[in-house]
Amino acid sequence: MNGLTGTEAAARLAAEGPNALPHEGRRRVWQIAFEVLREPMLLMLLVAGAIYISLGDIEEALLIVALASASVVVTIVQEARSERVLDALRDLTSPRALAIRDGEQKRIPGREVVRGDIVVLSEGDRVPADATLIASQALEADESLLIGEAVPVRKAIGTRLPADARPGGDDLPFVYSGSLIVRGQGLAEVTATGPRSEIGKIGKSLSGIENEPPPIQNETRRLVRLFAVVGVSISVLFTVLYGWLQST
How far apart CA 248 and CA 243 sit, in angstroms, is 9
The residue out of 75, 92, 109 marking a domain boundary is 92
- Residue 152 domain boundaries: 97-203
The band of 144, judged by pLDDT with boundaries at 50, 70 and 90, is confident
**Any idea what the CATH number is for the domain that residue 153 is in?**
2.70.150.10
The total number of residues shown for the chain amounts to 248
The residue out of 92, 111, 146 marking a domain boundary is 92
Co-location of 194 and 236 in the same domain: no
How far apart CA 76 and CA 39 sit, in angstroms, is 13
> Contact at 8 Å (CB) between 168 and 153?
yes
Strand partners, 107: 98
Domain count, the chain: 3
> Contact at 8 Å (CB) between 77 and 29?
no
pLDDT in tens, 163-202: 667 777 788 899 998 889 999 999 999 999 988 888 888 7
Co-location of 108 and 172 in the same domain: yes
Q: Is the pTM of this model over 0.75?
A: no
How far is C-alpha 57 from the geometric centre of its chain's CA atoms? 45
Q: What is the DSSP letter of 136?
A: E
